[in-house]
């Protein structure tokens, strides 16, 4: 009986873990139907789904009609035509950034100093195929959208630099871009960069706009896609999101094969785009935005996403807005420091699981202060968790031992009352009560540990702290499977990659089953003994090696605990308890 309940518990755990990456596909549609803001705002702004992949990949803009560079330039009628395209490389402690004067300050490339690709090459986060970011646009009196993509702004600070000169900053750096139009409007963008921060400041100043922007709004947008930075592209792309924070509500799009656009009206606190481990965000400081539009789509090896925010222009002729902007790793502490809800971008799982996930990450980071290798941190963590769940483990094996001791008596009852189901159940339950046995006692303690396993799955799969963190030997990245080679074919449920740790884990499970007293001469029990390890091997093959390492260490500790502590104590306790009951019955 215990073995059956154990299998049920583990199957439930494995299925939930296996489906975790897909749960958003189920949860979000339902959420969308319940969320009136999203239900009203949702609309598609892309071409038909049946367009070929290349055409969809090239579709970068939310608006179905865009002014091209030549038309934009001609229509705006720029007074200052002397500026030429120029870029500078800005380098501080955290990043190396290429900043262009096109559009009054476009980030052409961004390289992290503290994070590398799996092959130790630099991360070049931004795509370089003519996309734009931090672009200012507005709708003129002729209802035409005017933007400044591809238009070089002038800058007094850039005059003294040659194209692609590198500026190493150890004090704040200020660069201002400006553009004057023939209609008298002036657009200014002033950047402030700092020596030791991912964050930089942007001030947008618009002059002489009265009667030239009828709806009294301008937009600030991000239209630059992120490159795939992880070895397993599918895993990276799966966690592609676009966000806008409208009031107290987080509006999000998880990029899928079907394009999606959401337009919202209301107090907009920030907009953001993220990959699995990195994000960019635009946060208005002087006042909130009045509306936002987010959009995205992903394919097998690409993602396209964009976000824009509209800002209100007062009934005046000169106005400025301040922004904080960053391109940074998805670190909870960093995001929380802004106190505007950016930490919601970190995926901790369902609300019930989130406190457990956050607690686990806090403990791992705390231990990492003293132990530099996260693999050994997991060893200590496994010991801590083992001590915490020891009462559950002890109870589980006690229930199992009782069930094993009762098997001969249960067999007798079954033979005697097998033809009368009602009487069989009554006699069986009476015996359970007499001997103090809970038939689900071996299953429930394991199910109680299920939230912990789900929380660990979230931590190992999405937190940047474990990204590219090695353990020993072949385990080079605890956030990815410890793959040693790839098969030329695909195995259902298993995939086409072969990882080592799941085999070790499965072997530990077999040993654990044998120690639990499973009768290998019984065909049914023998089948169960090998079914569960095989099932877990198939499922865990594509899980992060950190999670599999933890579970393997946990099983190893369970084996040692069971062999030298639990089994002797439980066997003695159960024999004494049953002996007293049997003696009492004889009397």
State how far the Cα of 262 lies from the Cα of 279, in Å rounded to an integer.
19
Residue 281, Cβ neighbours under 10 Å: how many?
A: 25
Left (φ > 0), alpha (ψ -120 to 50) or beta: where does 480 sit?
beta
Dump pLDDT digits (tens) for 490-533: 888 787 888 898 899 888 888 877 776 555 555 666 666 677 78
In the chain, the domains with their CATH numbers are 2-17+362-586 (no CATH), 35-338 (2.70.98.90)
State how far the Cα of 168 lies from the Cα of 451, in Å rounded to an integer.
47
Residue with the larger pLDDT of the pair 449 and 58: 449
Q: Give the sign of the dihedral formed by CA 563, CA 502, CA 14, CA 539.
A: negative
Cβ atoms of 262 and 42 closer than 8 Å: yes
Cβ atoms of 154 and 80 closer than 8 Å: yes
**Most confident of the ranges 37-51, 220-234, 409-423:** 220-234
State how far the Cα of 276 lies from the Cα of 329, in Å rounded to an integer.
9
Asked if pLDDT for residue 78 goes beyond 50, the answer is yes
Angle at which helix 450-462 crosses helix 2-19, to 10 degrees, equals 30
Dump pLDDT digits (tens) for 194-238: 999 999 999 999 999 998 999 999 999 999 999 999 988 888 999
| pLDDT score, position 488 | 84
**Most confident of the ranges 13-22, 111-120, 452-461, 503-512:** 111-120
| pLDDT score, position 64 | 31
Q: In the structure, what pLDDT confidence band is assigned to residue 40 with cuts at 50, 70 and 90?
A: very low
Judged by average pLDDT, the poorest of 54-68, 259-273, 524-538 is 54-68
Q: In the structure, what pLDDT confidence band is assigned to residue 540 with cuts at 50, 70 and 90?
A: confident
* CA nearest neighbour of 439 among 430, 451, 449: 430
Dump pLDDT digits (tens) for 118-151: 888 999 999 987 688 999 999 988 888 898 988 9
Residue with the larger pLDDT of the pair 431 and 63: 431
Tokens of 420: 């009368």
Judged by average pLDDT, the poorest of 106-115, 240-249, 363-372, 418-427 is 418-427
| pLDDT score, position 439 | 67
- Phi first, then psi: give them for residue 288, nearest 5 degrees: -75, 160
| pLDDT score, position 567 | 63
Residue 252, Cβ neighbours under 10 Å: how many?
A: 21
Asked if pLDDT for residue 27 goes beyond 90, the answer is no
Q: What percent of the chain has pLDDT over 90?
A: 40
Q: What is the mean pLDDT of residues 236-262?
A: 93
Q: Which residues pair with 312 in a beta bridge?
A: 217
Asked if pLDDT for residue 255 goes beyond 80, the answer is yes
Asked if pLDDT for residue 32 goes beyond 60, the answer is no
Mean pLDDT for all residues in the chain: 80
Q: How long, in residues, is the chain?
A: 587
Q: In the structure, what pLDDT confidence band is assigned to residue 468 with cuts at 50, 70 and 90?
A: confident
**CB contact set of 420 (below 8 Å; sequence gap of 6+):** none
3-state secondary structure 37-79: HHHHHEECCCCCCCCCHHHHHHCCCCCCCCCCHHHHHHHHCEC
State how far the Cα of 234 lies from the Cα of 275, in Å rounded to an integer.
11
Q: What is the mean pLDDT of residues 156-168?
A: 93
| pLDDT score, position 526 | 63
| pLDDT score, position 416 | 77
Cβ atoms of 103 and 155 closer than 8 Å: no
Q: What percent of the chain has pLDDT over 70?
A: 77
| pLDDT score, position 326 | 97
Asked if pLDDT for residue 68 goes beyond 50, the answer is no
């Amino acid at each position: 009986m215990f073995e059956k309940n154990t299998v049920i518990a583990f199957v439930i755990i494995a299925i939930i873990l296996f489906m975790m990456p897909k749960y958003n596909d189920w949860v979000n549609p339902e959420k969308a139907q319940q969320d009136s803001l999203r239900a009203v705002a949702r609309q598609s702004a892309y071409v038909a789904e049946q367009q070929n992949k290349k055409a969809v990949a090239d579709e970068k803009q939310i608006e179905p009609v865009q002014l091209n560079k030549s038309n934009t330039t001609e229509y705006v009628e720029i007074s200052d035509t002397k500026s030429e395209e120029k870029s500078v490389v800005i380098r501080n402690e955290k990043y190396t950034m290429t900043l262009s004067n096109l559009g009054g300050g476009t980030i052409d490339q961004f390289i992290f100093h503290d994070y590398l690709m799996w092959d130790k090459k630099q991360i070049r986060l931004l795509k370089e195929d003519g996309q734009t970011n931090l672009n200012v646009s507005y709708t003129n009196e002729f209802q035409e959208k005017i933007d400044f993509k591809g238009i070089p702004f002038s800058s007094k600070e850039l005059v003294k630099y040659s194209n692609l000169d590198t500026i190493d900053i150890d004090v704040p750096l200020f660069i201002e871009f400006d553009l004057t139009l023939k209609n008298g409007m002036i657009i200014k963008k002033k950047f402030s960069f700092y020596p030791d921060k991912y964050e930089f400041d942007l001030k947008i100043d618009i002059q002489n706009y009265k009667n030239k922007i009828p709806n009294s709004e301008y937009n600030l947008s991000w239209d630059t896609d992120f490159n795939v930075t992880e070895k397993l592209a599918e895993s990276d792309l799966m966690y592609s999101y676009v966000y806008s924070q409208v009031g107290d509500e987080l509006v999000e799009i998880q990029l899928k094969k079907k394009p999606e656009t959401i337009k919202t009206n209301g107090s907009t606190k920030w907009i953001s785009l993220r990959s699995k481990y990195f994000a960019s965000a635009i946060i208005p400081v002087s006042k909130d935005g009045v509306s936002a539009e987010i959009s995205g789509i992903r394919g097998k090896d690409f993602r396209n996403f964009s976000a824009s925010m509209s800002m209100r222009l007062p009934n005046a002729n000169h106005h400025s807005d301040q922004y904080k902007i960053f391109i940074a790793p998805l670190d909870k502490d960093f995001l929380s420091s802004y106190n505007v809800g950016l930490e919601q971008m970190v995926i901790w799982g369902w609300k019930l699981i989130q406190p457990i996930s956050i607690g686990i990450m806090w403990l791992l980071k705390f231990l990492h202060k003293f132990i530099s290798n996260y693999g050994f941190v997991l060893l200590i963590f496994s010991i801590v968790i083992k001590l915490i769940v020891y009462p559950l483990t002890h109870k589980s094996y006690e229930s199992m031992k009782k069930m094993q001791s009762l098997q001969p008596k249960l067999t007798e009852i079954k033979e005697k009352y097998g033809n009368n189901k009602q009487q069989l159940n009554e006699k069986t339950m009476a015996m359970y009560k007499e001997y103090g046995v809970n038939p689900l006692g071996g299953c429930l303690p394991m199910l109680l540990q299920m939230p912990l396993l789900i929380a660990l799955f979230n931590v190992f799969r999405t937190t940047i702290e474990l990204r590219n963190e090695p353990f020993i030997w072949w385990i080079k990245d605890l956030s990815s499977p410890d793959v040693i080679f790839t098969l030329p074919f695909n195995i259902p449920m298993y995939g086409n990659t072969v990882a080592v740790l799941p085999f070790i884990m499965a072997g530990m499970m077999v040993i654990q089953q044998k120690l639990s007293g499973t009768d290998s001469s019984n065909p049914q029990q023998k089948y169960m003994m090998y079914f569960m390890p095989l099932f877990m091997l198939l499922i865990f093959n594509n899980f992060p090696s950190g999670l599999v390492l933890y579970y393997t260490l946990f099983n190893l500790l369970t084996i040692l605990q069971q062999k030298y502590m639990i089994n002797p104590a439980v066997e003695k306790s159960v024999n004494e308890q049953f002996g007293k009951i049997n003696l009492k019955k004889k009397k």
